[in-house]
């Protein structure tokens, strides 16, 4: 039994016609990092939002962080399907992410704007990943990036719609 449990994860050679899987895996890892960081930010705002829009923001952010948490698994599994290792440390997630933590003490309106801006940044990164995927004959990653971008664009729109007064 100890032999079964001593296997160490490693890169694999995958031959599906996809070109330059290393660059794709890096791009996916960057998006995974942003997504994972946005899950935490969204969850923190979900816990701490107050005011007249509490219920709306609380419910919307719950739907969003649940969707994004599930997406982190899809992104990591795509990295593995390309033969590479997914990020395996919080330090790697933080260093890869382009998202920043807030200073704290934000109003509901500031939380909403911060989340909307963060979703737009992730969508922008996903657009670049989709383009890179198409150039490298990786329709699976291109499709995943397109679907995830649509989620983030919709999330930004919904947040801003709640924030209007």
Ranked by mean pLDDT, which of 13-22, 65-74, 103-112 comes out on top? Answer: 65-74
Q: Work out the average pLDDT over 13-32.
A: 86
End-to-end CA distance of the chain: 62
The string of pLDDT tens digits covering residues 125-140 is: 999 999 999 999 999 9
Query: Global pTM?
Result: 0.90
Residues written for the chain: 165
Lowest mean per-residue pLDDT among 8-22, 29-43, 63-77, 120-134: 8-22
Q: Is the separation of the CB atoms in 78 and 141 below 8 Å?
A: yes
Q: Check pLDDT > 90 for residue 115.
A: yes
pLDDT tens for 32-46 read 999 999 999 999 999
Q: Where are the domains of the chain?
A: 19-163
Rounded-to-integer distance, Cα 155 and Cα 161, Å: 10
Token pair of 48 as six digits: 């701490």
Q: What integer pLDDT is reported at residue 65 of this predicted model?
A: 98
For residue 9, pLDDT over 90 is answered with no
Q: How confident is the model at residue 12 (pLDDT cuts 50, 70, 90)?
A: low
Residues 72/42, Cβ–Cβ less than 8 Å: no
Q: Which of 132, 10, 135 is nearest to 80 (CA)?
A: 10
What architecture is domain 19-163? Up-down Bundle (1.20)
pLDDT of amino acid 163: 80
């Amino acid at each position: 039994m100890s032999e079964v449990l001593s296997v160490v994860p490693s890169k694999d050679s995958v031959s599906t016609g996809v070109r330059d899987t290393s660059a794709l895996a890096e791009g996916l890892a960057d998006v995974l990092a942003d997504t994972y960081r946005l899950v935490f930010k969204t969850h923190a705002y979900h816990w701490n939002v107050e005011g007249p829009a509490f219920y709306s923001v609380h419910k919307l952010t719950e739907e969003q962080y649940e969707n994004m948490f599930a997406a982190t698994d899809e992104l990591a599994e795509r990295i593995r399907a390309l033969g590479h290792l997914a990020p395996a440390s919080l330090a790697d997630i933080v260093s890869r992410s382009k998202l920043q933590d807030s200073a704290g003490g934000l109003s509901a309106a500031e939380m909403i704007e911060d989340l909307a801006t963060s979703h737009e940044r992730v969508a922008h990164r996903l657009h670049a990943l989709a383009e890179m995927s198409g150039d490298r004959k990786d329709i699976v990653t291109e499709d995943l990036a397109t679907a995830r971008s649509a989620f983030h664009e919709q999330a930004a729109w919904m947040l801003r719609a709640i924030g209007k007064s």
